[in-house]
Structure 1
Amino acid sequence: MSMQRLLDLLPQWLDRWKVAVNVGKTAALLHGPVRIRVVPKKLNLRGVNIEFKPKFRYLGCDIDRSLSMAAHASQIIGSASAARFMLRPRFRLQAQQNLSLRNIVGAGRYVRNDVFARDLDVESLMEFVIRLSRNMYERAENSPHEHLHNIGPLHARPPDGKALPREILVPPTIVRS
């Protein structure tokens, strides 16, 4: 059966199952080796031409002709790098807080940052973020909305050994033998 014949049968099925298709956003994709250059006939659905595209985005995922998801992986890596870059100022803020406290106290180079922060009863930026995160998880657990309960459950540690987001908030337990 030709592709156009199947597209002609599709509106009946869509109407029967009460499914709507935005024909303006519909695209066709030829997959397979790039060296094969078959120029297909124009396809149309409900009288609207469907254009062939080399890649398109579906459910947030970039799909290309080879179906390898290489474009999507590189885009995700780029966004993760951008997120990591945006987190870098947090370290600068902590350093600025330490310098300010050191100037206020008049402490020398030999005094550790956590010593005068503890003496002045000033919480570090990391402690502040952890406190806010703990409060957020507690509010979610005690919320009347059930979909917020157990929003960040504690699971077994993944094989790579990195802590899960909620696991960072739990104080470590000391095991004494």
Structure 2
Amino acid sequence: MPDQLRLRGQAVEWNTRVRYLGVHIDRSLRIAPQIDHVIQTSRAARAKLWPILASRLPIRTKVAIYKCYVRSRLTYAAPAGYALCSGLQRQRLQAQQNIVLRLIAGAGWYVKNDVIARDLGVKTVEEFVRKLTRRTFNRTDAGPHLSLYNVAPHLDRPTRGYQLPRDLVTESPDD
């Protein structure tokens, strides 16, 4: 076993995952642990809210509850990490939203998810994250704190197939 790393006399434990500001990151700086974590927490929130979301409350109220308690968990730290998600991870996040919206609407299996979302007036997770990212970057660029200005610039350099957070804003002009 190699020598133990020490910092100020304290042994440093080696981990393959860390949690920083509530965001789970693995040793290759991928966002997969964070996606697993937000899906787990959104499932837990959905389970606790199931009696309310399946009740006879007005649909607008149930959608507001979803946006406040479940979607906020699904999109935690999304402006920073969503660009790093794989297609499968994005599908998993969208599936969590679809499950809740289907519960809210009381829709059968034969109703398409995009029809339910359209009728409830809820954007897809990707559309919401794009809006959130755009708002975040606009606030930092226009804010009084110079240290935050252009915090994640759009760079014209190859990123080996990976997106950068600012790419979410510049990728789709229709938003």
Shorter-chain-normalised TM-score: which range? Answer: 0.3 to 0.5
Higher relative contact order (CA 8 A, sep 6+): 2
Q: Between Structure 1 and Structure 2, which shows a larger proportion of helix residues?
A: 2
- State TM-score, norm by structure 2: 0.47
- State TM-score, norm by structure 1: 0.47
Which protein has the larger Cα radius of gyration, Structure 1 or Structure 2? Answer: 1
